[in-house]
Structure 1
Amino acid sequence: MANIQQLLNDEIRRLARKEVIALEKEYKSQLVDLRKNVSELKNRVKVLEKQLSKLQPAEPEKIIEAAEESAKTFRVTPNRIIKWRTALGLKRAQYARLLGVSPLSVAHWEDGKSAPRDAQKRRIAQLRDMGKRELTQLCKEQGVVLKKSPVDSAEK
């Protein structure tokens, strides 16, 4: 009896080893394929990064930092907002539409109840520094109707 038990155990071990070896070969081949894919993808990423660096300007970080710095030093007070808006000859609703905010926000800024966020400050600075042609073009794009042109109001 002990001999039969030993024979069965040996046969089970042999078959189990055979199956494990077959599975191991399959997994090794899959692993090799995956490693090839990873190396190909790494090479593609390198090529794409080189192409991207050629397309981008040389110093984009400095431009972004300069824009952020100018936004930090840009002071917005209620009186200045009123002054800039009236210089452009715009009503609160029109000014709000150009800035992409609600007219109530502009009213609160002008009343001193709240202050514009950094994104709005940058947009206010863009509107303030915008040329007359650019401003009229922007008004046309946004659907803002000007009663008098910014050229007339800026020259007076």
Structure 2
Amino acid sequence: MPNIGVVLKDEITRLAKKVLKTQIGPLQASSAAQRRHIAAMKRQIASLEKEVARLRKGAPGRAPAAAAASEGDEQPLRFQAKGLRSLRARLGLSAEDFGKLAGVSGQSVYNWEAEKTVPRRAQLQSLSRLRGVGKREVQKMLDAAT
């Protein structure tokens, strides 16, 4: 026959575990929810830091909706250094000659291609006009400029 002290001790242990479980359960759920919230905030901070770095670098990206709406119905002009390099190579122009056509210096063209700087809006418009031009037309434009 079991000893009354052992039975009493086992029952007290069982009841204490039951009470602890009911009190700790909500705390564990709250802790798990807070960990999920912290993880979501860390992801949000990382994405915001990437966007701040992109904006500091001056790289063109998607324009904010407010800026796009204020410009009206015209398409926003995009710039990619790779596209400028391929356009200049397709036309067979030096950076200096391409700069003359765009109304800028050859150094500006070089800096755009090296992604050191980004053209301004007016310069983007002149670059967009050169996209559809062929080699013969470019040569005529250069002859007229000199």
TM-score range, shorter chain: 0.3 to 0.5
Q: Which has the higher helix share?
A: 1
Please, what TM-score do these two structures have when normalized by structure 2?
0.47
